[in-house]
Chain A
Amino acid sequence: MKRTLALTAAALALLATGCATKNDAKYVDSQGPNTIVSLDRINIQDWNNAADKLVASLLASGVLERAPELPAVMAVSRIRNNTQQQVDTDSLTKKIRIALNQTGKVVTTTVLGPDGKQEDAMAADVGAMNNFMAGEKQKTTLPYYTLSGKLLEDRVKSGSTNQITYTFQLSLTTVKNGLAVWEDETLITKQGQRSSVGW
């Protein structure tokens, strides 16, 4: 009898806890296993996984040590988005930049960008002003490497099951000769009928 009561109480407690949190907003770990998986979007875990694999590939390749000076200066070139979504490619490149910066082998210039677009225009202006005031010619540290890439997607459907594959391609080019010294791509495929929470 006592056991039955205890079990009933435990079951009720579990039910009550479940009911209280089911539809309420809550915080989840951005890098945890309980984030939402969408079939029609690149999710945060997709950017994270793609960046992780590409950084690991780049570090394992050993090309970064071949730069004449370490940390090597890298500029982020164009990352083409050939997916149907509007995405900010910084979701990928910033993670890669942070990881490479932490290794101490690469620093990224923020005063040079594709089509003359500077990420940090103020740094460029202040640098130019400093040089002018000192009576020196403008000196901008030129990158040894540039990072470029492309995002692709492939959608297929069989019956009610949708499948989407995102391809993340990157190339690291040595500026002085225009040769891609490292290239890799990583694919992320998601399949299902609707979006879900978790993996």
Chain B
Amino acid sequence: MKASLALLATTTLALLLTGCATSVNTVSRADPQATPNYVPDQRVITDATLGRKVAIVSVNETKVSGNLLKIQVTLLNKSSKPQAFTYKFDWIAQDGMEFSGPTGGWKQIQLEGKEERAVSAIATSATAVDFKLKLREN
């Protein structure tokens, strides 16, 4: 009887522990060699709940294929639980006109607990000089 109870307790505890262990541990170089070109950003938060769940860690840019703007935004799931979000990049030309690429649209990303991950997009037109990233909770 005692043995059965002990086994049941151990199994339950193991299941509980496994259930909780959803956050991500990471390791990286202590002295990073990468030299990202960070972009100062401004943020508009209309969903405070989403704002508490996901943080924008950094925004950096580069040019690919000669003259195409590539933006990378690093997101952090502040919660210990996995969270699914959708995001969308829009592009802005020199004259302020906003446009979306032919393969634009909302994309899904699922971040594990406390996971930090970058989302990126490349403007398919060389006229893009600015960007806007929209984030939405699922």
**A82 at the binding interface (Cβ < 8 Å):** no
- In the complex, the answer to whether A65 meets B66 with C-beta atoms within 8 Å is yes
Total cross-chain contacts (CB, 8 A): 74
Known A-B contacts A60-B70, A103-B68; A31 and B105 likewise in contact (beta carbons under 8 Å): yes
Known A-B contacts A33-B136, A99-B101, A99-B124; A199 and B106 likewise in contact (beta carbons under 8 Å): yes
**B64 at the binding interface (Cβ < 8 Å):** yes
For window 95-138 of B, CB contacts with A under 8 Å fall at: 100-108, 120-122, 124-126, 136, 138
For window 91-117 of A, CB contacts with B under 8 Å fall at: 95-96, 98-100, 102-105
- In the complex, the answer to whether A103 meets B125 with C-beta atoms within 8 Å is yes
Residue of chain B at shortest CB distance from A56: B122
CA distance A31 to B101 in the complex (A): 11
- In the complex, the answer to whether B65 meets A60 with C-beta atoms within 8 Å is yes
Contacts of B104 in A (CB 8 A): 31, 52
- In the complex, the answer to whether A199 meets B105 with C-beta atoms within 8 Å is no
- In the complex, the answer to whether A105 meets B106 with C-beta atoms within 8 Å is no
Known A-B contacts A31-B104, A48-B105, A55-B103; A199 and B84 likewise in contact (beta carbons under 8 Å): yes
Q: Interface of chain A, helix or strand or loop or mixed?
A: helix
**From residue A126, how far is it (CB to closest CB) to chain B in Å?**
28
- In the complex, the answer to whether A32 meets B105 with C-beta atoms within 8 Å is yes
**B86 at the binding interface (Cβ < 8 Å):** yes
**A45 at the binding interface (Cβ < 8 Å):** yes
Please tell me the size bucket of the interface on B.
20 to 34
CA distance A104 to B66 in the complex (A): 11
- In the complex, the answer to whether A102 meets B101 with C-beta atoms within 8 Å is yes
Contacts of A30 in B (CB 8 A): 105
CA distance A52 to B102 in the complex (A): 8
Give the residue of B65, B66, B70, B103 whose beta carbon is less than 8 angstroms from that of A52. B103
- In the complex, the answer to whether A48 meets B65 with C-beta atoms within 8 Å is no
Contacts of B108 in A (CB 8 A): 199
CA distance A25 to B120 in the complex (A): 34
Contacts of A152 in B (CB 8 A): none
- In the complex, the answer to whether B65 meets A105 with C-beta atoms within 8 Å is yes
Which residues of B does A touch, CB under 8 Å?
Answer: 64-66, 68, 70, 84, 86, 88, 100-108, 120-122, 124-126, 136, 138
16 contacts between A and B (CB under 8 A): A30-B105, A32-B106, A33-B138, A45-B105, A52-B101, A52-B105, A55-B122, A59-B68, A62-B65, A64-B65, A98-B102, A99-B102, A99-B124, A102-B102, A102-B125, A104-B126
Q: A30-B105, A48-B103, A62-B64 are in contact. List 18 more A-B contacts (CB 8 A).
A: A29-B105, A32-B105, A33-B86, A33-B106, A33-B136, A33-B138, A52-B104, A52-B121, A56-B121, A59-B64, A60-B65, A62-B65, A65-B66, A99-B102, A99-B124, A100-B124, A103-B65, A103-B126
